[in-house]
Amino acid sequence: MLTAAQKQTYLDQGFVLIPQAISANKIAAMAEELQGWIEESRDHNKNYGATRNGKSRFDLEPGHSKQHPKLRRINNPVDISQAYRDVLFEGPAVEAAVDVLGPNVKFHHCKLNIKLPGMVTRVDYHQDHPFDVHTNDDHVTLLVLLDDMTEANGCLRIVAGSHLWPQYSHYKDDQFVGKVNEEAQAMCEATATKLEGKAGDICLMNTWCLHGGTSNLSQNSRRLLICDLTAADNYPLMEPQVPSEHTGKIIAGKSSRIARFRSGEVEMPYHYESDSFFGAQGQDSPY
Ligand SMILES: O=C(O)CCC(=O)C(=O)O
């Protein structure tokens, strides 16, 4: 699915945008489902929805109300929606993952990050691997754009080439804070590429890329589906932070009873106490 040039871009800069990979119909089906969840969120005043490890499925931003819903994340929409399974478990997204991970690909978890106009949630710079440590690095974060994504509506920002750098600590004062320190945050802000794209585009991002994003300062929604996929012989060294009913599902090729290890060291995280990824990074919840 990827051209030779796109594969090289992925290897060199750690990420690549593939235009118009997902059909308009499939994007519309996911957007419609999401609109239903936003409507439903009007009846809640705190995070809600059961998941496998007791954390909430639906995560609200402070200031959320019936009149102004501020649903900022949905954990593992594939657990509750065929429209999301149709995009992540078959078709072009899987073909693209095969091109960077090899023929045997395993699903780990996914989430929807939602920045509606007027919401302030941001994402502080971090790498994905330190949240969900694995035996090797054949691990990609697949992003599906449900909206056109621009600097103004809080596009993802990625530090090109950072997948080749040493691991950054995601701890502060012995607490797992899920982000790099202030000095590194400033470096990332100064150097990150703003990943702008159109609804239907996908991006493949190496799990070690430093990335983050500002809040939405525009009048347009920015809805982004984010999915962690690994090679089948890449095994998690811990229970996922956000487990899905489908964690471990083989979505291409076949499973492996061999776990492949890379050499070196990794910093182990722990399961953060906050109900929310954003809470773990130090942002407030509505209660
Ligand atoms: O929503 C975004 O722009 C980035 C999200 C992200 O990096 C994450 O949720 O891990």
Which two three-digit tokens encode residue 115? 């920045």
Tell me if the domain spanning 4-280 has CATH number 2.60.120.620.
yes
Q: What is the predicted pLDDT for the residue at 251?
A: 98
Q: What is the predicted pLDDT for the residue at 257?
A: 98
pLDDT-based confidence at 284, cuts 50/70/90? confident
For 43-99, write each residue's pLDDT tens digit: 999 999 999 999 999 999 999 999 999 999 999 999 999 999 999 999 999 999 999
The residues with which 172 forms a beta bridge, in sequence order, are: 175
**Cβ neighbours for 178, distance < 8 A, ≥ 6 positions apart:** 124, 126, 130, 131, 170, 269, 272, 277, 280, 281
Nearest CA to ligand 1 atom 8: 123
Pocket perturbation via mutation, ligand 1, pick of 224, 281, 283 by most ligand atoms within 8 A of CB: 224
Pocket perturbation via mutation, ligand 1, pick of 226, 227, 272, 283 by most ligand atoms within 8 A of CB: 226
Residues 45/68, Cβ–Cβ less than 8 Å: no
Q: Which residues contact ligand 1 via a Cβ below 6 A? A: 113, 123, 156, 211, 213, 224, 226, 277
- Res 287 pLDDT > 70: no
Q: Where are the beta strands (DSSP E) in 6-150?
A: 15-18, 58-60, 71-75, 105-115, 123-126, 139-145
Which two three-digit tokens encode residue 137? 């690095």
Residues 119/61, Cβ–Cβ less than 8 Å: yes
Nearest CA to ligand 1 atom 1: 113
Percent of the chain with pLDDT over 70: 99
Q: How many angstroms does the Cα of residue 161 sit away from the middle of ligand 1? A: 18
Residues 134/208, Cβ–Cβ less than 8 Å: no
Q: What is the predicted pLDDT for the residue at 286?
A: 63
